[in-house]
A = this chain, B = another copy of it.
Amino acid sequence: MSTPRKHAIRPATLEAIVEAAIRLLNVNAGATMSEIAARAGVGRATLHRHFRTRNDLVRAIGLRCIEEMNAAVRGGQDAGKPAVDRLRSMFRAVIPMGDRYSFLSLESADDAGVRQGYRAQLQWVAALVEDLKIQGDIAADVPTPWAVAQIDQLVWTGWNGIAEGYLTPDEASELAVGTLLRGLHGEARPHA
């Protein structure tokens, strides 16, 4: 649908377009086809050749990011490990890529496919939260949507800390886990 019939695409061209689009759309959700083309070092006509409309492009990028995020999250997961470890490795995988995903919750949310993919992600997190509750890492009376939202936000906060230079990726992940489960008060360490 988004890929016209006649023209094939050169891998390098596609890669350049996708990367440029991800970078730009995350910074400026209203980025222009001209801007994206320029950033990709590609003619504007080439964009339209492979993504007929701007919406097609945004949708394709959104789906790609979801997929990427999916792979990152599920990649380092060992179902046998305790829920806390799974939480930690999820943070480790996703936080450093925060600048590629932040736009998922913004503009592209008006596309059905992307929205569905994003919801699937949130449900995956919700399942993790349930496991954390079973293990006693999260109190049973905490609303699951609250915990999910909190985790979602911590990813962004973590990436932001890295981007601003006051955290390393490892520190960010540790801080995220600690903040989620134990808060910012220092002394209570149920898992120490």
List residues of chain A with CB under 8 Å of any chain B CB. 29-30, 136-143, 145-147, 149-150, 153, 156-157, 160-161, 164, 166-167, 175, 178-190
CB distance from A105 to the nearest CB of B (A): 11
Cβ contacts under 8 Å, A185 to chain B: 136-139, 181-182, 188, 190
Residue contact A188 to B188, C-beta cutoff 8 Å: yes
- Contact, CB under 8 Å: A161 / B145: yes
Distance to closest chain B CB from A6 (angstroms): 34
List the B side residues contacting A175 at CB < 8 Å.
142-143, 146
Whether B147 pairs with A157 at a CB distance below 8 angstroms is no
- Is B157's CB under 8 angstroms from A153's CB? yes
Instruction: Tell me, in angstroms, the Cα distance from A183 to B183 when the chains sit together.
Output: 4
Given contacts A136-B185, A137-B185, 15 further A-B contacts (CB under 8 A): A138-B185, A140-B186, A141-B186, A142-B186, A143-B161, A146-B167, A149-B157, A149-B160, A150-B184, A153-B157, A180-B184, A181-B185, A182-B185, A183-B183, A188-B190
The 8 Å CB contact of A183, one of B30, B143, B145, B180, is B180
Contact B182 A182, beta carbon cutoff 8 Å: yes
Neighbouring B residues of A140 by C-beta, 8 Å: 186
A139 to B178, CA, bound (A): 12
Closest to A153 in B: B153
By a CB distance below 8 angstroms, the chain B residues around A149 are 157, 160-161
Distance of A87 Cα from B133 Cα, bound (Å): 27
Q: Are B142 and A184 in contact (CB under 8 A)?
A: yes
Whole-angstrom CA separation of A61 from B58 in the bound complex: 29
Residues in chain B near residue A160, CB distance under 8 A: 149
Question: In the complex, which residues of chain B have a beta carbon less than 8 angstroms from the beta carbon of A29?
Answer: 29
Given known pairs A150-B184, A185-B139, the reply for A166 and B190 (CB within 8 Å) is: no
A-B residue pairs in contact (CB < 8 Å), sample of 13: A29-B29, A30-B30, A136-B185, A140-B186, A142-B184, A143-B166, A145-B166, A146-B175, A150-B157, A150-B184, A181-B185, A187-B190, A188-B189
